[in-house]
Amino acid sequence: MTQTTCIICYNKLNYITIRSDYCRFDRDLRWRTGVQLFPVVCESSNNFKVTKEALEEAYSKAQESNIKVKGLLINNPSNPLGTILDKETLKDILRFINDKNIHLVCDEIYAATAFSQPSFISISEVKSEVVGCNDDLVHIVYSLSKDLGFPGFRVGIIYSYNDAVVNIARKMSSFGLVSTQTQRLIASMLLDTIFVEDFIAKSSMRLLQRYGLFTKGLGQVGITTLKSNAGLFIWMDLRRFLENSTFDDELKLWHIIIDKVKLNVSPGCSFHCSEPGWFRVCFANMDDATMKIALRRIRHFVYLQPNKGVEVATKKQYCRTRSKLEISLSFRRLDDFMNSPHSPMSSPMVQRSIMDMSTISLST
């Protein structure tokens, strides 16, 4: 993605990007290229869908601000939403970029993670159905990091219909070559089509099962999520737990979840979400036992919230289901132990290590 943006935006022109989008687009795309990202605002009222009206409004606002737009970035399937862009939306996007004569960079890194209908549709499958589509404006980026679980191999792909982009990318690849050993391993694996198909099928089945279990657990305590069917994420709605509907209150809630509940989730503001109170949860980076503990901690958190529409649990219930990862010393004895001058627990490094070990990461 960074290399493609470097090639297209050599003169530091700007992109518009979908909200909510991948939180590291700011870092990955802006630092080296100097481009600015201008948001296409999507709202919960229509399940954060991309509409023609939202695209036109973002483009008009950019022009009013004297911002010259060079292209549109989309993430399909979406991180953090876990949703897939349907064929009609993709056609609308292609018509939009052709009408404005701007580039489209489509990040399809989660293409094989769809675990229920509708199935994933690549932008490459749709462009031929759009009359007058300029292929030179369409570029796809992909990686083996997510679909096949190879994040450490750093194998990325640029698929462009623009010969100039491909030629420049080929020259720039000298600065990020994939080793011969890695190429040999990846080639051998991909040639085994039976293994690849079986791996993706089993991965989709397990993602579906985990998604069902996690959303069911959240639903039992009244937490709703955006309906999704791809990727590794759940878009969790915690708006009712905000004292005020502001991003400052969202960050306050996030700190409570990190420091008190001991769950590492990502706040919606880090994804440029236009509405405070949404959080991204990664449900695919833990085993079943850890998932149960995470859900138990969420349940305890919800039960202890006053006037949030969920019956408060008794102290007895809370104590009976305490997390196995919590330290099982009484508070008084723990305080005595921690405050003793002879205790190694007084070391800041040890205290931080204890906190880190008991925090479950639901973020990537």
Active site residues: 22, 107, 109, 146
273: left (phi over 0), alpha (psi -120 to 50) or beta: beta
C-alpha–C-alpha distance, residues 310 and 292, integer Å: 20
Q: Which long-range contacts (C-beta less than 8 Å, at least 24 apart) are formed by 183-189?
A: 186/144, 186/150, 186/153, 186/155, 189/148
Answer yes or no: are the C-beta atoms of 222 and 302 closer than 8 Å: yes
At 226, give phi and psi (nearest 5°). Answer: -70, 130
Q: Which of 255, 8, 209 is nearest to 116 (CA)?
A: 209
